[in-house]
Amino acid sequence: MAKIAKKINIITLGCSKNLVDSEQFASQAVIAGYQVVHNSQNSDFDIAFVNTCGFINDAKEESINTILELVDLKNNKKLEKIVVFGCLAERYTDELKAEIPEVDVFAGNYDLQKLMETIESDGDEKNYDRIFDSAGHYAYLKIAEGCNRSCAFCAIPLFKGKFVSRDMSEIIKEAEFLAAKGVKELILIAQDLSFYGYDFDKQLLLPELVEKLSLIDGIEWIRLHYLYPFMFPERLLDVIAGNPKVCKYIDIPLQHISDKVLKAMNRGGTKHETIALLDKIRLQIPGAVIRTTMLVGHPGEGEAEFEELLEFVKEQKFDRLGVFTYSEEEGTRAAANFEDSIPQEIKDERAQILMDVQRDISAELNVARTGKIFKVIIDRKELDYFVGRTEYDSVEVDNEVIITTKEELQPGSFCNVKINSSGDYELFGEKI
């Protein structure tokens, strides 16, 4: 009788960079003879791998709670082994070992060889295969690790280290492999895409990388996530404007607009420079969608500074906007130099005010899309309709298109959709 392969459950918390690591490890574990599932809610697995996030307090709490739930399973003999890796494990290894001794292995930042050792196997870092936690028609492509910025509120450089660009030829090989696997949309990710290549020879090489990726057969969309606004590679605007494969989608986290708060945040730019860059983007890429994030409640943000931010959001009418509240992180410049004196309820109130304004802006912009025709990628089927996205929307965080058709549409396929109506964050249309 054949031996039944043990089952691994990989639970991924945090950002898309963690997801890439989990998908790559999943493939290697299958090659080693294991069954693998992503984020299973059942308890029918033998080994749990938790890819943790340590970015802000809420993420830390989610990671800890997830680990403790697995400890309960282990204590009840429903789980053999727990392996914890990722950002939280890197940042608080000693504390976690002391507080949660039931965890068998703490592995820290993603290290394929170390993770493979926990299942008594070898890994191959040149194998680009993945087991996707999705339908597989889009894939995140990590082009760098770490960060050289020194934003006062951010702890990421403390546990991810300095910015290290991946070799361009390796990125292209991985992208070619993903295209051959059926990926249609590449989503480029790093903590700071703008900085790509600067650690090689002080050249901003993102425009060149994007141009080369666009030559790969099978890739139809290239989407860029997290373009830092200062030291922005401005030739990239010409690439986005002139290359039909590059989504006219600018994800540029601004965090604030008050010069006082930007200085306290150590963001490296000013209100004037920010507005000038936004104007340039809109001038050089007509119709481009701009997505940004704002951080409210940072030390130095009084009522006047928040009102300045609020007016800026109203004036700019960003197509997409996310809002976070300041979380004091030990070891950061903000924690060392400022008192976190703004009550959480005030932070939450400011965040809600911004999101209420953004909801109205989004609804207004969506109404303007009614009657127009868009190319849409199909993500999934829901009951008697299909859900897709335009090039102006990234997966999971942006607007979706609800499509009615009698045809059976496959995830990863493209079709033209006429928009008939809209909601705050959805478009409704029919395939034509």
Q: Does residue 1 have a pLDDT over 70?
A: no
173 and 88: one domain? no
Q: What is the mean pLDDT of residues 374-382?
A: 96
CA distances for 273 relative to 20, 88, 125, 258, angstroms: 34, 35, 41, 12
CA distances for 141 relative to 3, 94, 223, angstroms: 36, 31, 10
CB 403 within 8 A of CB 417: yes
179 and 95: one domain? no
Report pLDDT for 218: 97
Tokens of 42: 């059942």
Q: Does residue 4 have a pLDDT over 70?
A: no
Q: What is the mean pLDDT of residues 69-80?
A: 92
The answer to whether residue 125 sits within a structural domain is no
Q: What is the mean pLDDT of residues 312-325?
A: 97
Report pLDDT for 123: 79
The answer to whether residue 128 sits within a structural domain is no
Tokens of 8: 């691994």
At residue 159 the predicted structure's pLDDT band, cuts being 50, 70 and 90, is: confident
Q: Does residue 234 have a pLDDT over 50?
A: yes
How many domains does the chain fold into? 3
The answer to whether residue 130 sits within a structural domain is no
186 and 273: one domain? yes
Q: Does residue 231 have a pLDDT over 50?
A: yes
Q: Does residue 125 have a pLDDT over 80?
A: no
Side chain identity at 357, as an amino acid letter?
V
Mean pLDDT value across the chain: 94
Q: Nearest 5 degrees, angle CA 55-CA 60-CA 64?
A: 150
280 and 330: one domain? yes
The answer to whether residue 359 sits within a structural domain is yes
The answer to whether residue 397 sits within a structural domain is yes
Q: What is the mean pLDDT of residues 68-83?
A: 92
Report pLDDT for 369: 96
113 and 145: one domain? no
Residue carrying structure tokens 């299942």:
119
Q: How far apart are CA 343 and CA 356, in angstroms?
A: 20
The answer to whether residue 87 sits within a structural domain is yes
The answer to whether residue 333 sits within a structural domain is yes
361 and 389: one domain? no
Tokens of 225: 């996530």
Q: What is the mean pLDDT of residues 209-236?
A: 96
170 and 306: one domain? yes
Q: Which domain covers residue 59, as residue numbers?
A: 7-118
Tokens of 214: 């666009």
Q: Does residue 310 have a pLDDT over 80?
A: yes
At residue 46 the predicted structure's pLDDT band, cuts being 50, 70 and 90, is: very high
Q: Does residue 121 have a pLDDT over 60?
A: yes
235 and 177: one domain? yes
Q: Does residue 89 have a pLDDT over 50?
A: yes
Q: Which residues of 352-382 are buried (b: 16+ CB within 10 A; e: fewer)?
A: ebbeebbeebbeebbeebeeeebebbbbeee
Taking only the tens place, the pLDDT of each residue in 5-44 is 799 999 999 889 999 999 999 999 999 999 999 998 877 8
Q: What is the mean pLDDT of residues 42-54?
A: 89
Tokens of 383: 């009951």
251 and 336: one domain? yes
Three-class DSSP labels, the chain: CCCCCCEEEEEECCCHHHHHHHHHHHHHHHHCCCEEEECCCCCCCCEEEEEECCCCHHHHHHHHHHHHHHHHHHHCCCCCEEEEEEHHHHHCHHHHHHHCCCCCEEEECCCHHHHHHHCCCCCCCCCCCCCCCCCCCEEEEECEECCCCCCCCCCHHHHHCCCEECCHHHHHHHHHHHHHCCCCEEEEECCCHHHCCHHHHCCCCHHHHHHHHCCCCCCCEEEECCCCCCCCCCHHHHHHHHCCCEEEEEECCCECCCHHHHHHHCCCCCHHHHHHHHHHHHHHCCCCEEEEEEEECCCCCCHHHHHHHHHHHHHHCCCEEEEEECCCCCCCHHHHHCCCCCCHHHHHHHHHHHHHHHHHHHHHHHHCCCCCEEEEEEEEEECCEEEEECCCCCCCCCCEEEEECCCCCCCCCEEEEEEEEECCCEEEEEEC
300 and 395: one domain? no
What is the Rg, in whole angstroms, of the alpha carbon atoms belonging to the chain? 22
Please enumerate in sequence order all residues whose Cβ is within 8 A of that of 41, keeping only pairs 6 or more positions apart, or say none.
Answer: none
309 and 162: one domain? yes
Q: Give the CATH number, domain containing residue 342.
A: 3.80.30.20
Q: Give the CATH number, domain containing residue 396.
A: 2.40.50.140
- For 73, counting Cβ atoms within 10 Å of its Cβ (0-12 exposed, 13-18 middle, 19+ buried), the class is middle
Q: Does residue 3 have a pLDDT over 60?
A: no
Report pLDDT for 57: 78
Q: Does residue 281 have a pLDDT over 90?
A: yes
Q: Give the CATH number, domain containing residue 67.
A: 3.40.50.12160
Domain finish residue from 118, 147, 175: 118
200 and 246: one domain? yes
% pLDDT > 70, the chain: 99
Q: Does residue 399 have a pLDDT over 50?
A: yes
N- to C-terminal Cα separation, the chain: 54
